[in-house]
Amino acid sequence: MRITFRFIGSLVVVVAAVAFFAAFLQVRQEKTKQQDELERRSRLLAESLEEAMEPHLGKGSSKTLERLVEKFGNRERLAGVAIYDLNANPLAVTSHLTTALPTAPLVVRESMEKKIDVSQFGRINNKQMHIYSLPLGIEKGRTSGALVLFHDAAYIQAQLGSIWRRTFWRVLIQTILISLVTLLLVRFAVGGPIAQMAEWMKQLRLGTDSESFKLPKEDLFAPMTREVATFAKHLHQAKIAVEEEARLRQSAEAVWTPDRLKEHIRSKLDGKPLFVVSNREPYMHLKQGRATQVIVPAGGMVTALDPVLRACGGTWIAHGAGDADWDAVDEQNRIKVPPDDPLYTLRRVALTKEEEDGYYYGFSNEGIWPLCHIAHTRPIFRPEDWQAYQKANQKFAEAVLEEIAQVDEPCVLVQDYHFALLPRLLKEKRPDARVALFWHIPWPNPESFGICPWQRELLYGMLGADLVGFQTQFYCNNFLDTVDRALESRIDWERFAVQKENHATLIKPFPISVAFPSAFGDIGSEDKAKMDRAALLKELGIKTRYLGVGVERMDYTKGILERFRAIERFLEKCPNYQSEFTFVLLGAPSRTHIKRYNEFMAEVETEADRVNWKFKTKDWKPIVFLKKHHSHREILPFYQNADACLVTSLHDGMNLVAKEFVASREDEGGVLILSRFAGASRELRDALLVNPYDVDQMSEAIRHALEMDSQEKASRMRRMRETLKENNIYCWAGNLITELAQIRLPQSLAAKGG
């Protein structure tokens, strides 16, 4: 309360000071105005009297003068009139002033000497008077005396006093009102929300359900609410982590959590920061009219790596591809992310349109991507794209070298097929760096890979790394076979390592995963609460009993056309499901500047249209294609309400949609239909595994999923969740970094004399 009083006290002082200053100015202005007015009236009156008085001066006709003086001396506010001769002796004075004026006022002599009218204020008969003296006879060239007018000026003082009085009352009333309003404001607008927030924090501390409490919504509290909510989120996560650790200690299990990973990395890297390089950035700033929107790009790599960086901190170096990216960074092209809860640094690398065309769209996605995915799209290898790829790898190498400049023996995790050359470029400049390359996509057999005109250069660049990771052992084997065929090197099949030019590269599988248990950890419980199936269907305008879902980057490797054909087959074979089953595809447009992707998008639309046309009724259709980028917040309700999630990739390194779906099903409901050609099928054995080229088998899997009894569903889901729990993304990062940290660098060997 003391603060409130101090606040009100200061307000009162300021208001009073301002009001009194304003009153002071008003009084001063009023006084000048009144005095000027009096002066003006005196002058006018004196000039009109002058004519009547002047002829009688110096003619000894004092009787006439006295008569005139008496006649004019009793006008309104005029207290008297006097006439003086050249020696300032009174010739005639209004009778009631005679005794009060034994001598002429000072202005009389002054006005005659200066030959101008002069006025002053003075006290006569205990009254404030305005005395105005006008020399007479000036116009005739000789002064013959002075005419003096006395005005009662007491009324000016009275008026000024009244202004001061009015000001006093106004200030008093204003002060009382302001104090009252301030007290009420503090009480309701500030005190209320603070009490609300305090109560919420208390509940949080006590561990009761703090989420049902509403935080203040007022703008004034927005920054505080945001900070407190983030703080609470961290507290909540820390609490869960501690409880989980305690539980794990008790059950002697070893599940990876963000905190465990953080500790692990701290000890493995001796407290040094972690560096990650990828083409795709984890947060993209996009212009939306005048505003800027931040999105998390679609794709498994970001879903997987962001939780790792959130847990451990460090720097993520990536291409700044958003059209508002460069407005958001500092002079070093860095920005702290996630934007609303900064936990690590994103360093953006700029590429020209030509570089992006050749390196990203061209060589990476028209060359290596179809080369590694057996999905029957021919790779295109253009020499100019290869040039751009080399240049872009060089450019990223420079950015990474800048970032790691101050760190001894830094650990760098290079991501994916965009950077096959980067490991060697880094190691050439920084042999003390520990460099791992993780290849997120499949690695084909040596014959398939061998069609690439620059296969040897790519392999040589990759073998600059100390560790090359793949999603499965099968891809590791393919890679070693490819190296064996293409390069002069020694392969150690026991250790799974390649020895080339005195440098060893370990080749190991690290199946990537999601942040189990909360794959979408960035979603608050407030949003989770809204996710109700009826509302979801209503929002989509769908009426259906069974819901199937697919979440895809729109890519020809994902088996989307095959999926639609399987849905068609299913509805043909099981007509009782017509009007009962709808499949929703959340499809994010991807790599849209590539012809094949454009054609593919059109094919998907045509195929969805064809199947819908065949079966649709007035208020039902089998396929809903939502073609846009969906945030985690938008995807989660679909996962949580789906009867089946369909992942039917023709070929896929891992496929994290399958894992996100499992992670989202705390209720142990829903069935996963999963392609045998996705890396995830090696771990998620309780999914219904399908060959996406076998339309009948897929349609049967849909039927099986919808008719599976809830016990079987739950036990399958439970087992898959157990697998994810043990092999989450923290486990992936922990294993990768453990392996990398164990690698003995040449200097350390030398230091140990080895």
What residues make contact with ligand F6P under the rule CB under 6 A? 279-280, 299-302, 416, 440-441, 553, 590-591, 653
Q: Going by C-beta distance under 8 Å and a sequence separation of 6 or more, which residues neighbour residue 484?
A: 446, 491
Count of residues for the chain? Answer: 754
Do 596 and 377 meet the contact criterion of CB atoms below 8 Å apart?
A: yes
As measured in angstroms, the least distance from the Cβ of 306 to ligand F6P is 11
Report CA 593 to chain centroid distance, whole Å: 29
Give the nearer residue to ligand F6P in terms of CB position, either 590 or 648. Answer: 590
**Joined tokens for residue 692:** 């996406």
CA 374, 377, 378, 380 dihedral sign is negative
Nearer to ligand F6P, 200 or 417 (CB): 417
Greatest Cα pair distance in the chain: 147
**216 vs 469, which CB is nearer to ligand F6P?**
469
In the complex with ligand F6P, the residue whose CB is nearer, 621 or 651, is 651
Nearer to ligand F6P, 552 or 686 (CB): 552
| Pair 661, 688: CB distance under 8 Å | no
* CB of residue 610 to ligand F6P, shortest distance in Å: 28
Smallest gap from residue 649 Cβ to ligand F6P (A) = 10
* Distance of closest approach, residue 216 Cβ to ligand F6P, in angstroms: 39
Q: How far is CA 426 from the centre of its chain?
A: 34
Beta bridge partner(s), residue 294? 285
Q: Comparing C-alpha atoms, which of 363, 349, 355 is closest to residue 402?
A: 349
Output the smallest distance, CB 593 to ligand F6P, in A. Answer: 11
Min dist. Cβ of residue 478 to ligand F6P (A): 17
Choice between 201 and 594, CB closer to ligand F6P:
594
Contact, 709 vs 683, CB < 8 A? Answer: no
> Closest residue (Cβ) to ligand F6P?
299
Q: What is the 3-state secondary structure (H, E, C) of 26-63?
A: HHHHHHHHHHHHHHHHHHHHHHHHHHHHHHHCCCCCHH
Output 69 or 414, the one with its CB closest to ligand F6P. Answer: 414
Q: Which is nearer to ligand F6P, 417 or 577 (CB)?
A: 417
Distance CA 652, CA 741 (A): 29
Least distance from ligand F6P to the Cβ atom of residue 282, Å = 10
Q: Which is nearest to 296 in space by CA: 630, 697, 696?
A: 630
Q: How far is the CB of 557 from ligand F6P (least distance, A)?
A: 9
Distance (Å, whole) CA 242 – CA 335: 30
Q: What's the closest the beta carbon of residue 658 comes to ligand F6P, in angstroms?
A: 13
Spell 713-745 as b/e; 16+ CB within 10 A means b: bbebbeebbebbbebbbbbbbbbbbebbbebee
CA trace torsion 698, 703, 704, 709 (10° rounding)? 160
Q: Which is nearer to ligand F6P, 301 or 673 (CB)?
A: 301
Report which secondary-structure segment, H or E, holds 317: strand 315-319
Pick the closer one to ligand F6P by CB: 279 or 482.
Answer: 279
Query: By C-beta, is 499 or 598 nearer to ligand F6P?
Result: 598
Distance CA 698, CA 704 (A): 10
We find the least distance from the C-beta atom of residue 181 to ligand F6P, in angstroms, to be: 56
Report yes or no: 600 and 555 within 8 Å, Cβ to Cβ: yes
Alpha carbon distances (Å) from 651 to 278, 369, 418, 509, 723: 22, 11, 18, 17, 22
CB of 302 to ligand F6P, least distance (A): 6
Q: Which is nearer to ligand F6P, 280 or 651 (CB)?
A: 280
Main-chain phi, psi angles of 416, to 5 degrees: 80, 180
The CA distance from 438 to 415, in Å, is 5
Look at strands 315-319 and 644-647 and give their pairing.
unpaired
Q: Shortest approach of ligand F6P to residue 588 CB, angstroms?
A: 8
Nearest CB to ligand F6P, comparing residues 280 and 348:
280
529-to-341, 345, 535 alpha-carbon distances in Å: 22, 32, 12
> Would you tell me how many other CB atoms lie within 10 Å of the CB of residue 383?
11
What minimum distance in Å lies between the beta carbon of 697 and ligand F6P?
Answer: 25
Q: How far apart are the first and last CA of the chain?
A: 72
| DSSP labels, 44-110 | HHHHHHHHHHGGGTTTT-HHHHHHHHHHHTTSTTEEEEEEE-TTS-EEEE-GGGTTT-SS--HHHHH
Quick count: other Cβ atoms within 10 Å of Cβ 97?
20
Asked whether the CA dihedral 654, 658, 662, 663 is positive or negative, the reply is: positive
Q: CB of residue 723 vs ligand F6P: minimum separation in angstroms?
A: 21
Q: Which is nearer to ligand F6P, 56 or 553 (CB)?
A: 553
The nearest distance, CB 679 to ligand F6P, in angstroms, is 10
Q: Identify which of residues 105 and 511 has a Cβ nearer to ligand F6P in the complex.
A: 511
Q: How far is the CB of 300 from ligand F6P (least distance, A)?
A: 5
Nearer to ligand F6P, 148 or 305 (CB): 305
Question: Do 317 and 276 touch, CB atoms closer than 8 A?
Answer: yes
Our CB check for ligand F6P shows the closer of 552 and 739 to be 552
CA separation for the pair 384, 465 (Å, rounded): 26
CA–CA gap between residue 403 and residue 413 (Å, rounded): 13
Looking at the Cβ atoms of 260 and 418, the one nearer to ligand F6P is 418
> How many CB atoms are closer than 10 A to CB 15?
16
Shortest separation between residue 360's beta carbon and ligand F6P, angstroms = 7
Query: How many Å apart are CA 515 and CA 266, to the nearest integer?
Result: 19
For the bound state, the minimum distance from the C-beta of residue 368 to ligand F6P, rounded and expressed in Å, comes to 10
